[in-house]
Amino acid sequence: MADDGAEAGEDQLAAALEQLKVADLLVHSLSTISSLAYHRLAEEHRDLDQARLAIESLRALVPVLRGSVPDELVRDFEQVTANLQLAYADAVGTGTT
């Protein structure tokens, strides 16, 4: 009986993976990365190295989405990236890490 449950779980996982698209995973990941970047730029959680890594990840991955997701979504991520870059520059300018 335990094997039936494990097999059903494996079948569900296989079905979920079949439906999952890389573009969907990238959108989710970039959303998470941008949220974390904003969090790391906040004064109370400031970690400029982590914020920079998040920004560079966005800069590298957003162009990959072109043609796989609606253009508006790509523009939104580009705007988020630009906003994060400005916030990063401001944080660096204040001299607090």
Q: Residue 66 in 3-state DSSP?
A: strand
pLDDT in tens, 59-86: 999 999 999 999 999 999 999 999 999 9
pLDDT given for residue 6 in this prediction: 80
CB 39 within 8 A of CB 87: no
Interaxial angle between packed helices 48-65 and 22-41, expressed in degrees from 0 to 180 and rounded to the nearest 10: 150
Q: What is the pLDDT of residues 20-45, one digit of tens each?
A: 899 999 999 999 999 999 999 999 99
**Where does the pLDDT of residue 96 fall: very low under 50, low under 70, confident under 90, or very high at 90 and above?**
low
For the segment 39-57, the average pLDDT, to the nearest whole number, is 97
- Chain mean position to CA 77: 9
What's the CA gap between 47 and 51, in Å, rounded?
Answer: 6
With tokens 């560079």, the residue in question is 56
- State pTM to two decimals: 0.81
- State the Cα–Cα distance between residues 77 and 65, nearest whole angstrom: 10
